[in-house]
A and B are shown apart, each in its own frame.
Chain A
Amino acid sequence: MNELGSPLDTFREEARELLEQLEQHLMQLEEDPTDHDSIDGAFRALHTIKGSGNMFDLDDLVGFTHIVEAVFVRVRDGKLPVSKDLIDLSLQARDHISSLLNETETGAADNETDERSQLLSKAFEAYLGDEAQSVSGEVFETHDSATANHSQHESEGEFTYRIEFTPASDSFLTGANPLLILNELAELGSILKIGYCEAIPDLKEIEPEHCYLRWVILLTTDQGENAVRDVFIFVEGSAEIKIDVIAEADPLMGESGYKRLGEILVDRGEIDPKDLEAAVSSKSYIGEVLVKKGFVSEEQINSALQEQNYVRDIRENRRTVETSTTIKVKVEKLDELVNLVGEFVTMHAGIAMVAERKNDQDFRAAAEQMEGLIRQVRDLSIELHMVPVEILFSGYRRLVRDLSEDLSKQVQLKLEGTETELDKNVIDSLKDPLLHIIRNSIDHGIESPELRKKKGKSPTGTLRLSAYYSGASVVIQVVDDGAGMDVERIRQKGIERGVIDTSDRYSEQDILQLIFAPGFSTNEQATSVSGRGVGMDVVRRNIEAIGGSIRIETAKDVGTTLSIRIPLTLAIVDGLLSRIGDSLYLINLSYIVECLDLQDVRKGGNGGDMIDFRGEIVPFLDLRSYFGVEGDRSEHPQLVVVAIEEKKIGLVVDDLLDKYQSVIKSLGKVYEQVEGISGAIILGDGKPALMLDIDRLVKVTRDEVKK
């Protein structure tokens, strides 16, 4: 792998991301054709691809994108409405740009793509009307003037000052030209000057040598207040100067724009708060009312409005600047960081142990301080590795759209909890499983509009993707309001195949889980879309591989809900250390329901492999015998009750030790097939310990009980 990559590689990578964004904007526009943000977004994506492509002389790509962009300029300017056809065409164009982009990599330009370029270009030109000619011949501008301006701002440590500057009346005479002062201020940053001339008397009364002007200046600068004050150093004695900070470069400070008009006027002392209250109560436009009532002059209102707009603009700019100051980091580097931080955590545990043993006060204090610091670094590095599921979810919009069209179904996709964050690796591993599930939902779950009408449902089916936090896990649900699964039919099939017997000891959930068995499908007629029960076994395997579990709930004609529960992060786990024989094992805390003394629960006399846990009969597994550990049993074996998706089992261990937080390491290829162990951790003394595979142990124990 080429770590650095050529500029062209970088361009391709960015262009692909932009195409992804373009698709999202188009999907959004399909839902709301008037959404300005999406129109702007689509235009910007196209514009950027074109602009950057131009730098690499990618003529085909640039030429084609240009025509599409031109159409979006018309859309943006309100000259062209967003239609379904335009969206369809734009999606095709997006795919085509993607293939053109791939061609730049393979270097294989073929006639077919050329033809497609021409075909699509023609279709887009039709939207351009008279402009078509001029567009094709236009010279491309490479610089986006708007962003060029913004880049001058430093986003860090920027302040906006409101400076009220009333020069002394003799300032013309003393040579302290106020305009020069304004000029100096302008050099410090971005500036808005509002001059007030209301003090100028009429021609009869004016003393022409006197200065009657005053200013309110809004200055956004990365300079401190002292630098601003220095500008006034020669007039300080005579002029009236008031400097206030009105906005800090704090992104948390009110996103919804700046202060209200009335507040600005009160701040400036131009209106009494009481008058403002009176004006507000009269329900007209506040500015209008204030002027009418003579509380303030129109000039004052205008100036306050300007201030409002100025601060708003500066904020907007800042947001633009901030997004552009994010840096891209390769995921591998983040992975490495998380791993190293994990090592750090482990190493610290060792140091803390030594400190404890040496019983050195200073050493211990230092180790404790270090722990606090490490925790912060750890949290931060995990945070860096988290991304919102929106990235995952919104990627399916296109799939849902195309699929429902192919199958002549009407499906509405709803996304919920898109801000929920998950480890990037988890997101990646979920991509394919979710794809399969969504496919199945649309193919087998949601009925045709006719059938839905017959059932008294809305002809449009709803597919809901939602995510939410649940303890140390995130639950992702795929919910459809379709036909639901036929549990009885799955049961019959299971019996036919000899997977289950005819007894009634299987719960509905047990039977539903059968669909994850390899090659198990209830749909007699395989379709081109989902095939014959395609991939559900793969789905489960993939989800289990990242420590997740999957659960189905279904009701006939009401719909099906698939819930996938996955750990928040794969890298670091909070666990409980337990001892079995001479070895220590880590149990993931998020699965632990309760820890009990085995003797206490066994008293009930249930015997066998079952215990009575709060009135519930729960099977348990003696890990000593399961792991074949020799030697003497502990006098007080402990029972750890764990649960996965409400399925509880008890695990018998010799002893329970401390809570322990650690990076989970893979056992590698040699131990890939081992049962009941999902990884290793490194203890404070440097010795490895094993991590219990709770999911597997629950399954094994409950299967055993059934036999």
Chain B
Amino acid sequence: MIRTEFHATTTPAQLDIEGEMSFVHVGELHEALLTACDAADALVISLDKVSGIDAAGLQLLFAVCRYAEKNKKSVRIEPGAAAERLDRILEFAGLTSPNCLVGDLA
């Protein structure tokens, strides 16, 4: 299950992601991220309610950062309650966190 909620009116705009950022849902998630990134110049992506991330999900976060850099957009990923989860998967995959990730990981 994945759900996204996009608040375009706030500054910066905010995308809340809820549920599994897994391979099964990456298609949906990709669409949502793309829409949000296109719609706002400043965007906060909150992973607070994310209950799982896999390698495919992780790839998308890197892609977001890359996109933001390329298009000079300000994108911040806030791990919130998923910080520990995110940290674990990053460590497991031997990856350093995406540039636009903010806040301390566990």
Contacts and interface: CB of A to CB of B under 8 A. Distances in A.
Interface of A: 172, 177-179, 182-183, 192-195, 197, 200-204, 206, 208-209, 211-213, 215, 217, 302
Contact of B54 (A177, A206, A215): A177
A206 B30 contact: yes
A161 to B, nearest CB: 15
B6 interface: no
Most buried by A among B29, B37, B67, B94: B94
Nearest to B95: A195
Given A182-B94, A206-B63, A209-B23, 4 more contacts: A179-B55, A192-B94, A193-B94, A208-B27
A177 B92 CA distance: 13
Interface in B58-77: 59-60, 62-64, 66-67, 70
A172 B55 contact: yes
Given A179-B92, A209-B26, A215-B94, A204 B67 contact: yes
A302 B70 CA distance: 23
Contacts of B34: 203-204
A200 B27 contact: no
Q: Which 5 A-B pairs give the minimum distances between C-beta atoms?
A: A193-B94, A203-B67, A195-B95, A208-B26, A202-B67
Given A194-B94, A203-B33, A204-B67, A177 B62 contact: no
Contact of A203 (B54, B64, B93): B64
B93 A213 contact: yes
A206 to B, nearest CB: 4
A243 to B, nearest CB: 17
Contacts of A209: 23, 26-27, 56
A572 B68 CA distance: 79
B92 A203 contact: no
Contact of A208 (B29, B93, B95): B29
B94 A197 contact: no
A208 B92 CA distance: 20
Contacts of A179: 54-55, 89, 92-93
B60 to A, nearest CB: 6
Contacts of A208: 26-27, 29-30, 56, 59-60
Nearest to B94: A193
B60 A206 contact: yes
Most buried by A among B27, B89, B92: B92
Interface residues of B, number: 25
B81 to A, nearest CB: 22
Nearest to A205: B63
Contacts of A212: 59
B56 A172 contact: yes
Contacts of B33: 203
A197 B61 CA distance: 11
A202 to B, nearest CB: 4
A204 B30 CA distance: 9
Given A172-B56, A211-B55, A211-B56, A201 B63 contact: yes
A97 to B, nearest CB: 43
Contacts of B30: 203, 206, 208
A182 B89 CA distance: 12
Most buried by A among B26, B27, B62, B96: B62
B66 A200 contact: yes
12 contacts: A172-B56, A179-B54, A179-B55, A179-B92, A182-B92, A182-B93, A193-B93, A197-B62, A197-B95, A202-B63, A206-B63, A213-B95
A201 B62 CA distance: 8
Given A208-B29, A209-B23, A200 B63 contact: yes
B77 to A, nearest CB: 12
Contacts of B95: 195, 197, 213
Nearest to A212: B59
B59 A197 contact: yes
Nearest to B92: A179
Contacts of B96: 302
A589 to B, nearest CB: 63
A193 B95 CA distance: 8
Contacts of A217: 94
A277 B27 CA distance: 46
Interface string B9-52: 00000000000000100110110011001000000000000000
Given A193-B93, A193-B94, A194-B94, A203 B56 contact: no
Nearest to A299: B96
Most buried by B among A179, A182, A194: A179
Nearest to B31: A208
Given A203-B34, A208-B27, A213 B59 contact: yes
Contact of B55 (A193, A202, A206, A213): A213
Contacts of A215: 93-94
Contacts of A200: 59, 62-63, 66
B55 to A, nearest CB: 5
A206 B60 CA distance: 8
